[in-house]
Amino acid sequence: MATHIDMKQPILDKNDRLAEENRALFAEKHVFVLNILASPGSGKTSTILATIEALRDEFNIAVIEGDIASSVDSEKIKAQGIAAVQINTGGACHLESDMIKRAVDVLDLDELDLILLENVGNLVCPTDFDLGENAKVMILSVPEGDDKPLKYPGVFQVSQAVVLNKIDTMPVFNFDQDAFCDHVKQLNPNAPIFPLSATTGQGVEAWAEWLAERVRAVQ
């Protein structure tokens, strides 16, 4: 008789315990933490930069960048005068709560209002891992196609909001925005959808105000 050993649950249990410690620390310091999930090339970093530009006059912001390798994205953030911590997972397809715990040790939480976590580009693995964040947000770009909610329902179900990026490319791609929104609403009726272009600035204001309301609520 074969014995089944569930290796995933002990990993998740440990992760969740550390996530609760992170959450308690963020609450104590009145810092709002946003976990950003998306595919590679969806425009995570450009959306983060646009968000920073929209909110930096009101909030003190830091970024934690998760990548399998390199520090390209964190250097872009630092160039804008924003504190950034780079996490290289060395092959892991998602961030975990112990990585976040170590990353925030180098940040002055007493001086921060908002931390943006750029998770590793992946629509599957990061959905299972609580980092102690206040909210998860999913970014999808127009070139990826309107069928992604059907193929990757989990990430849309766990997200408190959905950003549809690169809407300036809509004329070039066969993207059915109405169908996309219908798919998302079926999976997650309460998640607002923010169509925007991080590079042109179109639609960024509405997205930034949604986030700002939540940051103010924890201060």
pLDDT of residue 151: 96
Round to whole Å and give the CA distance between 71 and 66. 9
Round to whole Å and give the CA distance between 64 and 67. 10
Q: Kindly report which listed range (13-22, 24-33, 83-92, 159-168) carries the lowest average pLDDT score.
A: 83-92
Average pLDDT over residues 118-137: 90
Res. 76 pLDDT band, cuts 50 70 90: confident
For residue 84, pLDDT over 80 is answered with yes
pLDDT of residue 3: 45
pLDDT of residue 126: 80
pTM of the full structure: 0.90
pLDDT for 17-29, tens place per residue? 999 999 999 999 9
CA 36 to chain centre: 0
